[in-house]
């Protein structure tokens, strides 16, 4: 496990973008695992800038997103599909057919989930997975007490997550209560993982993740067992580490 503590959000975003871009430079047909939320927005901006000045080419890259709200159409303003188009895909040369995001409108969710994991396997697995972390220690939408054995599945969102994510919606009642998320098993199969966290709201989750016992109560704590995980966190998020 590597822990890189940086001064602020900009530095976190730059370091993460450099790691992602290096992966693509070294292996142009890399499979990238991507996250949404407020944490990676700065990293995506940096990657778009690097693409615009010709430092990185995404034409052979394949992408798999961690999760999508269940019941939101991909064109819904709050869907993670829409987030990815606005923050990254509309501004780089990734091919549309190489973009994978769980279908939040799938009628047969179980099939959608199995297909998603199969598609990841078919392309040889995820080379590098970006993660954010919930204040309750979730990764993807794997909420506390999730099974570490699960692949992609339909999850019920925690009250805390619904409350935290309500900032993106007009009212809390509009936040979907379920989502399709890669499971812990899917995430742990990634060859490399980088987890980004900033701000004091993440400090407790970061402490439990890195220094606490490995337990489904803190889903991210399983990362202690991954062989190539890098935490890029700002001073505030690192504040409770001993």
Query: In this structure, what are the phi and psi dihedrals at residue 119, rounded to the nearest 5 degrees?
Result: -65, -40
132, 198 Cβ separation under 8 angstroms: no
Exactly one of 46, 67, 117, 164 is catalytic; name it: 67
Exactly one of 98, 100, 103, 138 is catalytic; name it: 138
Instruction: Judge whether 138 counts as a catalytic residue.
Output: yes
203, 224 Cβ separation under 8 angstroms: no
Complex with ligand F6R: residue 60 or 82, whichever CB lies closer: 82
Tokens of 165: 């994510």
How many angstroms separate the first and last alpha carbons of the chain?
15
Q: How far is the CB of 39 from ligand F6R (least distance, A)?
A: 3
Instruction: Judge whether 174 counts as a catalytic residue.
Output: no
Cα 106 from Cα 175, distance rounded (Å): 18
Complex with ligand F6R: residue 48 or 57, whichever CB lies closer: 48
Exactly one of 87, 100, 103, 136 is catalytic; name it: 136
Task: Indicate the Cα dihedral angle 55, 127, 203, 37, nearest 10°.
Answer: 70
Beta bridge partners of 181: 67, 153
Angle between helices 41-52 and 9-26 (to 10 degrees): 50
User: Angle CA(215)–CA(239)–CA(16) in degrees, nearest 5?
Assistant: 80
Closest residue to bound ligand F6R by CB: 132
Closest to 142 measured CA to CA, from 88, 93, 107, 185: 185
Complex with ligand F6R: residue 104 or 134, whichever CB lies closer: 134
Order the strands of the 178-181 sheet from edge to edge: 67-69, 178-181, 153-156
Exactly one of 127, 143, 158, 164 is catalytic; name it: 143
Q: How far is the CB of 198 from ligand F6R (least distance, A)?
A: 8
Q: How far is the CB of 156 from ligand F6R (least distance, A)?
A: 15
Q: How far is the CB of 107 from ligand F6R (least distance, A)?
A: 23
Instruction: Judge whether 67 counts as a catalytic residue.
Output: yes
Complex with ligand F6R: residue 61 or 206, whichever CB lies closer: 206
Complex with ligand F6R: residue 55 or 162, whichever CB lies closer: 162
Residue numbers of the site for ligand F6R (CB under 6 A)?
35-39, 66-67, 132-134, 138-141
Which residues does the annotation mark as catalytic? Answer: 67, 136, 138, 143
């Amino acid at each position: 496990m590597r822990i890189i503590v940086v001064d602020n959000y900009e530095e976190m975003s730059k370091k993460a973008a450099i790691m992602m871009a290096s992966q693509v430079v070294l292996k142009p047909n890399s499979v990238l695992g991507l996250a949404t939320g407020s944490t990676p927005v700065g990293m995506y901006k940096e990657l778009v800038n690097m693409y615009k000045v010709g430092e990185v080419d995404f034409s052979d890259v394949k992408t798999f997103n961690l999760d999508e709200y269940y019941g939101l159409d991909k064109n819904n303003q709050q869907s993670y599909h829409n987030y990815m188009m606005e923050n990254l895909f509309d501004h780089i040369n990734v091919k549309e057919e190489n973009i994978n995001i769980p279908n939040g409108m799938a009628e047969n969710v179980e099939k959608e989930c199995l297909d998603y994991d199969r598609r990841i396997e078919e392309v040889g697995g995820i080379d590098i997975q970006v993660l954010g972390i919930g204040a309750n220690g979730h990764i993807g939408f794997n909420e506390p007490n999730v099974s570490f054995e699960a692949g992609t599945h339909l999850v019920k969102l925690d009250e805390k997550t619904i409350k935290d994510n309500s900032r993106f919606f007009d009212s809390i009642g509009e936040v979907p209560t379920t989502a399709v998320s890669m499971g812990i098993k899917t995430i742990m199969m990634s060859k490399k993982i980088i987890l980004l966290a900033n701000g004091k709201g993440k400090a407790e989750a970061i402490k439990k993740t890195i220094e606490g016992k490995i337990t489904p109560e803190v889903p991210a704590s399983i990362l202690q067992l991954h062989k190539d995980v890098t935490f890029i966190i700002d001073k505030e998020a690192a504040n409770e580490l001993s």
